[in-house]
Amino acid sequence: MLTLLFDGIAYGMLLFVLAVGLAVTLGLMNFINLAHGAFAMAGGYVTVLLMNRLGVPFLVCLPIAFFATAAVGALLERTLYRPMYAKPHLDQVLFSIGLVFMAVTTVDYVVGSMQQNIRLPGWLQGRFAIEWVGIGKYRLFIIVVCGLLTVALQWVLSRTRFGSRLRASVDDPRVAGGLGLDVNRIFLLTFAVGSGLAGLGGALGAEVLGLDPTFPLKFMIYFLIVVSVGGTTTITGPLLAALLLGIADVAGKYYVPKLGAFIVYSLMIVILMLRPQGLFARASGK
């Protein structure tokens, strides 16, 4: 059972890294970006291609996935997303659905629709046991990497100037702009980093979650659950929501496989009914 908990935590941490960009984008730009999963997919495919075609080592692929996806994110933000911020939510939804469809079919066309496999480096394969807990090395690696990223994010947000500018812009973009903060640049950087993290998450998750062109659609609902349950005003909110979701999903699929994702969806609905602004959001948040 503890092994399940461990696996659930790994899954949850991964979901967090994947979804945190979406949470910040929503909190900052009030933009519902359903295409967020496409960035994750991009990171995964970049990694797969680099490893399988060019033989690039796994650990090197990870930062490449981050930066490549961040660059794409920055480009898209500047060109396509920026005019969308002021539009109503319906338009944003339609827009991002359109992007997802395009991304999914493009990948299908270029790479094909089969599942992609990554051969993990030897030292990440296998498991070892501590007491009753079976620890997969790769899952441990995921927890460590994601944990470090979370700490880094929290540090950036609370200790750096960029962090406080970001928090100010989330609280009130108009006032922030009026104070002289370059809100556009903050949006751009934030979106890029958020997309980059999604890409990194996709690279990390390729082995655990499976990678094929339907990835963005399959996991979209999970990212959205993390964001809507976790709220968009803190980092810890989505983190806790992701952990909860990860553990619930892993446990649910093990104990009651017949019901599958049913448990997760129902749980989400119940939570949103009780607290529409998210389980962990500040009351005054968006």
Partner 1 sequence: MSRPDVAASLRADARWRPWEIALFVVLALSWFFLPGQSLLLAEIAIVALFALSLDLILGYAGIVSLGHAAFFGFGAYGAALFAKHVMPDPLIGMAFAVAISAALGAATSVLILRGTDLTRLMVTLGVASILYELANKLEDLTGGADGLQGVVMAPLLGRFEFDIAGRTAYAYALVVLVVCTLIARRIVHSPFGISLQALRDNRLRATSIGLNVPARLVAVYTIAAAIAGAAGALLAQTTGFASLDVFDFHRSAEVLLILVIGGTGYLYGGIFGAIVFKLLHDLISAWTPQYWNFWLGLFLVVLVLVGRERLIRPHTWWRRGSGGALPAAAEGPGVPR
Binding residues for partner 1, rule: CB under 8 A, are: 26, 32, 80, 83-84, 87-95, 97-106, 108-109, 217, 221, 224-225, 227-228, 258-262, 265-266, 268-269, 272-273, 276-277, 286
Q: How far is the CB of 102 from partner 1 (least distance, A)?
A: 4
27 or 202, CB closer to partner 1? 27
Q: Distance (Å, rounded) from C-alpha 61 to C-alpha 109? A: 23
Q: How far is the CB of 224 from partner 1 (least distance, A)?
A: 6
Q: How far is the CB of 228 from partner 1 (least distance, A)?
A: 5
CB 39 within 8 A of CB 67: no
Q: Distance (Å, rounded) from C-alpha 238 to C-alpha 24? A: 10
Q: How far is the CB of 93 from partner 1 (least distance, A)?
A: 7
146 or 248, CB closer to partner 1? 248
Give the largest CA-CA distance in the chain.
58
Distances (CA, A) of 121 to 44, 59, 67, 247: 16, 9, 21, 26
144 or 259, CB closer to partner 1? 259
Collect contacts of 50-53 with beta carbons under 8 A, ≥24 apart: 51/118, 51/119, 52/116, 52/118
Q: How far is the CB of 239 from partner 1 (least distance, A)?
A: 18
151 or 269, CB closer to partner 1? 269
- The pair phi, psi for residue 129, each rounded to 5°, is -115, 135
Q: How far is the CB of 10 from partner 1 (least distance, A)?
A: 24
Q: Looking at residue 78, what DSSP letter applies? A: I
199 or 216, CB closer to partner 1? 216
55 or 257, CB closer to partner 1? 257
Cβ within 8 Å of residue 8, ≥6 positions away: 243, 246, 247, 248, 249, 250, 251
